Structures are given as structure tokens and as C-alpha cells.
Structure 1
Amino acid sequence: MLRIAIFVTLLLVALVYALRKGGGPEKAVAAILLFMLISDQALHLIFAVNFLSVDAGHLLIDLIAAAATMTVALTAYRFWPMLAAVLQFLPLLAHTTRAIDMDLHPIAYLTMQVAASWLLPPLLVAATWQHQKRLAQAGSDRSWYISLRPSSRNAAKH
């Protein structure tokens, strides 16, 4: 239980920092992690999780989080969201491994599901700190890629 309390504390500190001081990508990933935290807590209140078979509830949470993080990674004007997306896809490998090998020990399945999540709070803190550093140096920090193609209306004018 102490391990969970430490992780949740680190995560909450990272979330508050990112939501208060981060740019668009930092806030978006913080929102994704907050969704995961709340969904996970709700899941554990409603269902007992035993890790003896594919954990459908966590699989759904992980699928949503991976898709959302990949969307941020593909649209953010930052490199770090790609790292976050990879870390969000690793639990999907755990679910796939469990589906393929039902003899996988439950502790191994649990560890594969949660181990990568320990890297997300420090990554989010570092990304937010870098955003603040760029703001201090340049006065602005571009958050998102903007399409360079003119819209069809503007193209007709040119």
C-alpha cells in the first residue's frame, strides 16, 4: 500500500504542476493521466481485479489513454509526448501477453501493466519545467503543430 500512496502522491504533484504551469501538451497529458487515475479508482471500487485473466477494465482504460496520448504526440510541437505515448502502449503489451499466454504469473502481468506508469510523473514534471524554461527565455512556447496548407477558401483567393 505504501508503494501506491507514493505513486499517487508523485502523480498528483506532477498533475498539479502541469495543469498550473504547463503548455497545451503538458495539460493534455495531465488530463489523460487524471482520467486514468479516476477511472482506475472507480474500477477498483466496482470490480475486484485478480490478474488471473485479461483484465478488461484496465485494458479499456489503457486503450483510451494510449489513443489519447498518441493523438497528443502526433499533434504537439514537442518530442516528449512520443515518450509518453510509448509508455502508455507498454501496458497494452501486458494485456496482449496475458491473452497469448494464460500461464503468465499474475504478479508478472501486474508488473508489466504498471511499471511504465512510474516514469510518467517525472516525465511530465520535466516537460513542464522545460516549457517554463522556454517561456522564460523566448517569451513564448509553441504548443501544437498548425497546418501549413492553406484552407480551400484561402487557396481560391490566391
Structure 2
Amino acid sequence: MTIALPPWLGLAVMFVVCSCAFIRGGLEERLAAGSMLINVTATQVLRDYSWPQVQPAGFIADVLSLVLLLVIALRTAKYWPLAAAAFQLLMVLTHVAKMIDPDLGQWSYVSAIVIWTYLKMIALGVGVWNCWRAWPYAPSGEALRAETRR
């Protein structure tokens, strides 16, 4: 008996969170959702199934996502991008650990990447939820930005 989650579940959750981000999220949420979708697509399309080591396309996509999330986190008054950038940094460091120690188990490596991805989706989901709650008061976060400038 296995307790593994079905592979389609992560994609379904990502689709729901990213769809909600595009519908009701602010600019930051939309950028992060677009980055997440591009990252997953590039990782899946450019994957080399015959090579058990770090996938270069996935590593590059994760580094670019980290840069975007850091820029978002440093330019906004919202808190969720800090968590998302931290989880993305952990994902990049997991790739680096696999590069440093190729004997690191493949199951451990892939499991860590999946866990950081789920946690990043949760952080984005919290950001979308907060935008959704503030929708009548502060669409796209403009009122929040104006309030923090005072």
C-alpha cells in the first residue's frame, strides 16, 4: 500500500490557484502565477528522462522564478511573496545540493522539489485569498500601496 498523491492532483491544485490568481489577484499574484505555470511547463517539456541528475532546464527555470519572486517581495507591501521566495530559494538549494552530491537519492531530491512547489502554491493561494477578501476595498492592491506610503 502506498500513500503517494496522484500526479494529477498537483496539476489540478496549481490550475485552480493560478486561475484564481488571474481572476481575482493583484499584479503580484498574476506575475507569480504566470511564472509558476511557465516554470512547470518548461520543466515538463524540456525534461530529459534518460538523465537521473539535476535537470538543467528545471534548474534555470527555478532560478529565474526565484529572481522574479525576490523582485516582487522587495517591491510590495504584501507578505506572501516573502514566503514564496523562501520556498523557491529552498527549491534552488535542493538543486544545488544534488549538484554537489550526485549520490543524493533521486527519491529524496524529487520529493523535496514537490514539497517546495506545494508550499509555494500555498503561499500564492494565501496571497490570492487576501486579494479576494480585499476586493471591494482595494482591487489590485493600489489602496494598500497608497496606505503604506503615508
Partner of 1:12: 15
Q: CA RMSD in A?
A: 2.3
How far apart, in 2, do the equivalents of 1:131 and 1:28 lie? 14
Query: Residues 48 and 78 (structure 1 numbering): CA distance in 2 closer, same or farther, change over 3 Å?
Result: same
Check the 8 A contact 1:75/1:145 in 2, yes or no.
no
Please tell me the residue identity of whatever aligns with 2:16.
Answer: V
How far apart, in 1, do the equivalents of 2:87 and 2:143 lie? 21
Q: Which runs of 5+ in 2 are unaligned?
A: none
Check the 8 A contact 1:77/1:145 in 2, yes or no.
yes
Partner of 1:102: 102
Instruction: Provide the TM-score with structure 1 as the length reference.
Output: 0.79
Query: Residues 55 and 139 (structure 1 numbering): CA distance in 2 closer, same or farther, change over 3 Å?
Result: closer
Check the 8 A contact 2:98/2:109 in 1, yes or no.
yes
How far apart, in 1, do the equivalents of 2:82 and 2:19 lie? 21
Identity level (%)? 22
Q: How many residues align?
A: 143
Deviates more, 1:124-133 or 1:10-19: 124-133
Greater gyration radius: 1
Check the 8 A contact 2:80/2:126 in 1, yes or no.
no
* Runs of 4 or more above 3 Å deviation: 143-146
